[in-house]
Every structure is written in C-alpha cells, then in structure tokens.
C-alpha cells in the first residue's frame, strides 16, 4: 500500500515540491520508492545522504567492508569513532540521524548473482557506487535482466564519470560502454583521489536517481558525463547502443 505524504513531510520537502515540474505526487513517488545502493565508500556516502535527505523512503545499503582510518578523508558518513566498524552500520546511523523516517536496510556481505533476484523484486533503482569492473558488470546484467534502471558512477585521482542506464530495446547498457575501455587497474590507494571529486560524482548519482524515480527532468540516458577536477569542467558524450552487446542486444 502506497504511503501518502503527511503535512509535516510536505513542509520538510517544500523546496523540492515547489520546483517547476515537481509536485506532491513526485515527492510521494520518492517516499514510496526503494533504492538498492552498492558500496558505502566515497561515492556511496555522498549519494546516500542526498537520497535520504531528499525523501527517498526505502534504502538498502550493500557493503561488506569495515571503516579504515584512510577512508575518513572522503567517506563522509563515517567518523573517527567508526574506525573498525562495518561501513553499513556506520552509514545507517548517520543516515538515520539525517532522516529518521527513511527505512534503511543493510546487507554486510557480497551478493552473488543468484542472490539478487529476491532483492530486486521490489527494487526501483540500482545505484552502483562500487570500484571494480566485475561488480559493475554483475549489476548491469541484473539491471537488464530485471528491467531496473542503473545509475553508475566512478571516480579516481581528479576525475569522475556518471551515467544512467534505463533498460529498453533502444537504450545502451553499461556493458555497451565498458567494452570500449580496459578495466582501471589502479585503486585509490595507488592512484589517489581528491575528496570532493567523489562528493561531486556521488551527488550527481543521487540527482540522477531522483530524476529516474520521480520521472522528472532529463536523466543521463545514453549519455556519459565526465568531470575533470583539474579544470573543473564537464564533458558530455553519447553512448551508442551496441547491437551486438552480449548483455542487452537480445532485448
């Protein structure tokens, strides 16, 4: 049964509701939506806090990692007292302090492909905040198979990228993009990462998720946005659908 916005909630989210093209019905879509977010690191912390603040009603966090002291430079949901604690637990506590009305679930283990269907059955959007190509490809296959939009983000050094993938016969999937480049072999440990860069990309992922959930504005479908922190410039590229894609060509 769908939840209806209370008067108090309408006041809380008034600045969104008053946007041109946004209204109470769209805010209620957020309230009744269910987002599955993978990775509560730099990208995930930024994306999750804006999704919760914006009024997304249900959020599932997936991460099997523990908070490390080196994470504190960019993973803003974790504090010094959380070092050694499960990232999911730390993030949940911080997010609940931000919006106690959000229903937050945590999964503190890596999910195999065969474990996803039961979770995806009630998921509206997948947000990929992971850091390796294998997991991204796994989430993309799940997105295409279960017809669930995928919001993808990545960041390293002073660079980041974000794109939205909405499964359809005409739209590209993440694999259509990923086959065009080799997997990034460097990690943040080896290559470094500027703290605000993950915040910028994670925030963009939250924005794209909200647009898809509320059917609002223009999501980055078939479009890749790349950010260069050195010059503070964005570049926009078209993502062509690969008619021979091993993942989505059969749609």
Q: What are the tens digits of pLDDT across the range 103-146?
A: 999 999 988 778 888 899 999 999 999 988 889 999 999 999 99
The per-residue pLDDT for range 222-242, each reduced to its tens digit, is 999 999 999 999 999 999 999
Q: Residue 68's closest CA among 42, 49, 105? A: 42
CB 239 within 8 A of CB 184: no
> What pLDDT does residue 251 have?
62
Q: What is the pLDDT of residue 112?
A: 79
Average pLDDT, the chain: 94
Q: What is the pLDDT of residue 226?
A: 97
Phi, psi of 243 (to 5 degrees): -65, -15
3-class secondary structure, 140: helix
Among candidate residues 172, 176, 178, the one with its CA nearest the CA of residue 154: 178
Confidence at residue 239, expressed as pLDDT on a 0 to 100 scale:
96
Residue 88 is predicted with a pLDDT of: 98
Please state, in angstroms and rounded to a whole number, the distance separating the CA atoms of residues 130 and 125. Answer: 15
Q: For 9-28, how does the pLDDT look when each residue is reduced to its tens digit (9 = 90+)?
A: 999 999 999 999 999 999 99
Return the pLDDT at 187.
Answer: 59
Q: In this predicted structure, what is the pLDDT of residue 189?
A: 65
Contact residues for 221 (Cβ-Cβ < 8 A; gap 6+)? 164, 165, 166, 171
Residue 190 banded pLDDT, cuts 50, 70, 90 = low
Q: What is the pLDDT of residue 183?
A: 57
* Residue 215 DSSP SS3: coil
Q: Is the per-residue pLDDT at 184 higher than 90?
A: no
pLDDT tens for each residue of 165-182: 999 999 999 999 998 875
């Amino acid at each position: 049964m769908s939840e209806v916005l209370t008067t108090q909630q309408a006041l809380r989210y008034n600045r969104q509701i008053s946007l041109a093209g946004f209204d109470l019905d769209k805010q209620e879509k957020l309230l009744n939506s269910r987002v599955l977010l993978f990775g509560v690191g730099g990208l995930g912390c930024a994306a999750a806090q804006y999704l919760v603040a914006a009024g997304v009603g249900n959020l599932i966090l997936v991460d099997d990692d523990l908070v490390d002291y080196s994470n504190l430079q960019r993973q803003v949901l974790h504090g010094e007292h959380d070092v050694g604690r499960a990232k999911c637990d730390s993030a949940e506590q911080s997010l609940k302090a931000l919006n106690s009305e959000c229903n937050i679930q945590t999964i503190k283990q890596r999910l195999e492909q065969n474990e996803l269907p039961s979770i995806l059955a009630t998921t509206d959007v997948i947000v990929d905040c992971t850091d390796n190509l294998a997991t991204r490809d796994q989430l993309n296959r799940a997105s295409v198979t279960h017809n669930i939009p995928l919001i993808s983000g990545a960041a390293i050094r002073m660079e980041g990228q974000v794109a939205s993938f909405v499964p359809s016969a005409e739209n590209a999937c993440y694999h259509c993009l990923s086959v065009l480049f080799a997997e990034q072999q460097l990690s943040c440990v080896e290559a470094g990462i500027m703290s605000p860069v993950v915040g910028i990309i994670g925030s963009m992922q939250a924005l794209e998720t909200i647009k898809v959930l509320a059917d609002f504005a223009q999501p980055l479908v078939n479009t890749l946005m790349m950010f260069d922190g050195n010059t503070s410039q964005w570049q926009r590229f078209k993502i062509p659908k690969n008619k021979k894609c091993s993942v989505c060509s059969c749609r």
